[in-house]
Structure 1
């Protein structure tokens, strides 16, 4: 089995900041409620040690996108984010037009922070609104209210951000269709460049999984999804991914690199990375606990896994088939190092069942395939 050449695989950087003001009951990310002072300087130092360690493996490869996620990265000061990005630029070759995203929560921002982030080089904000209903926000354990959500958006605009994503969920506890459309309408009234609109799921190891709220059934969820997608399309937002909707030219480049099976560095407590090199594709992840991570000084790989042929095939399909337009079949070989011939039987079965389009040169799910994506993926794991 061969592997792709590293220079042929686009590269991104994900930076994880693990602290939040409060742990939400639906959240299964590596996030921790803040207790005491925020150790900004020590954590930035550990992050840059991570970047240093990975930079030695890259042979000058250019980083196309940076995504600072969490947790709640907007808890960090503008100075800390500025020091982080300056350190990254001194260690990595960043593309001149690199997309640099920072996640922000409405209950953990102010005008000074946003202006400082923009000055530091952040050029895309992702604001975790989730809902514009006070009742629903309370049910979700959020620390902000609808007024703060709208104000965070306006503050970001005044700080000079021309590329803003809003995170919004549907299928919330006791939510009806009219409430879903009202949430979307309020988001659309702000005219963001991008919307991440996705269904609430009760993930394992969350409070909602152990104490499930009353959420809409599958039939109602499908009705919500259909009506919401129609409204978004009517307002000029093109769905390019399962939960991604964007105005022309504002697709999230960082997420597109994930879906196209590109490489990415992972820096921060619990961060995951994927790197191609020496004929292999490897995944790795860092120590999850923030204190242990900082005590180790970052740069410690907690575990590493080389993807075998089955892993590469399934993971590529899991990502690529999320994209509404799919990907060229040739990308499979480029990113995995495997021959597309190994997919032929599964592709034929999937097309016969109406789960994949008939275009032989593309891997693209039909509307039915996107709705039953797990069933489709099983066909590439048999």
Structure 2
């Protein structure tokens, strides 16, 4: 089998937040009094040079500013970065450019500036509309800030936006979770990401766990939410992602379909197919600490560059592909890993016998309803032996 170059995206990590939330395990850091915006943008543009050759003539299909809190950066700095990237890599005519924003950091008129800079999609970290829960989660915004941010988006002419929502919050019941969802849907997002709160190692919540709902209640929250979203015209296309027609996240789909992405910024990760290196798939990572990232020379900001062993590729592909409700086809597996689908036959057969995986068409596969519920168990069947 031969590798085929997949679509290419760019992930840009902005590492600072107003303060660190107790549940967050992302590479985020409390912002200094003055965020070194211009210096960091300069470093990002230098950092891009490290992986520029891996573009292999491809245009970028999406750019995602994640964090941290990218909305701490002024629109002119975001625009300067995008212009600098455009000078080095072609943009697909329909490129999706997403900026994550905290509703508590949005000033009046700021979204208009981001729109003028080139941003055409925004992801708002709502998390919950319950004021008490927002305080427990350490969020700096209130429910009213979410509505005001959505209003600002409309005034700026940005009609494509996602709301991040969490369920399974401390002491939350099913009714409260559904009320949260109803509040989110009232704002008419084009996309909604709904995640269950999990206690991740290294977080405050992990070391001092809050009282969480019973797992059966969390499952009921998920099932009831799925039903409500479906009745409102939101199609579930991934375990935690729902979208109106034509509004699926191009950037996240590229992750789940085992596409390529360059990752720049403190702690950013990337995945690149390198035909010039014998068809290897390479994982990259940047140094994590913002201060160290800024102090290093451009070519020493890459802390890891690792060729993925062929034996690990089936699991890495399935770790992503099995999250998609529509599943994956055998041709995509073969073209993006360079392996024959035959290497999966034993694991696929085992997953079928367990009722976790089913064939959907001639060469297409997807997780069953049971497989979606016990996704970790299904994914583990494809671990290298």
Counterpart of 2:259 (choices 215, 238, 262) is 262
Counterpart of 1:33 (choices 30, 34, 38) is 30
Q: Which residue of 1 is the match for residue 351 of structure 2?
A: 350
Shift of 1:153: 0.9
Runs of 5+ in structure 2 lacking a partner? Answer: none
Structure 1, residues 145-176: CA drift from partner, whole Å, max 9, x if none? 00011111111111110100000000000101
**TM-score, with normalisation over the residues of structure 1?**
0.97
- In 2: Cα distance, 1:268 partner to 1:253 partner: 21
Residue 323 (structure 2) pairs with residue 322 (structure 1): yes
Alignment of 1:220-239 (within 5 A): 220-239=217-236
Shift of 1:318: 0.4
**TM-score, with normalisation over the residues of structure 2?**
0.96
**Helix, strand or coil at the partner of 2:170:** coil
Shift of 1:98: 0.4
Q: Which residue of 2 is the match for residue 281 of structure 1?
A: 281
- In 2: Cα distance, 1:155 partner to 1:303 partner: 40
Shift of 1:72: 0.2
**Helix, strand or coil at the partner of 2:358:** coil
Structure 1, residues 25-71: CA drift from partner, whole Å, max 9, x if none? 00000000012211000000000011122213323221110000000
- In 1: Cα distance, 2:308 partner to 2:53 partner: 21
Equivalent pairs counted in the alignment come to: 379
- The answer to whether the Cα contact below 8 Å between 2:356 and 2:367 also exists between their aligned partners in 1 is yes
**Helix, strand or coil at the partner of 2:263:** strand
- In 1: Cα distance, 2:69 partner to 2:208 partner: 24
**Helix, strand or coil at the partner of 1:91:** coil
Shift of 1:297: 4.2
Q: Please identify, of 350-359 and 331-340, the stretch whose mean Cα deviation from structure 2 is larger.
A: 350-359
Q: Which residue of 2 is the match for residue 374 of structure 1?
A: 376
Shift of 1:135: 0.4
Residue 360 (structure 2) pairs with residue 363 (structure 1): no
Structure 1, residues 91-115: CA drift from partner, whole Å, max 9, x if none? 1111111000000000111132211
- In 1: Cα distance, 2:248 partner to 2:28 partner: 26
Runs of 5+ in structure 1 lacking a partner? Answer: none
Shift of 1:358: 3.0
- The answer to whether the Cα contact below 8 Å between 1:268 and 1:298 also exists between their aligned partners in 2 is no
Shift of 1:13: 0.2
Query: RMSD across aligned C-alpha pairs, in angstroms?
Result: 1.1
**Helix, strand or coil at the partner of 1:157:** helix
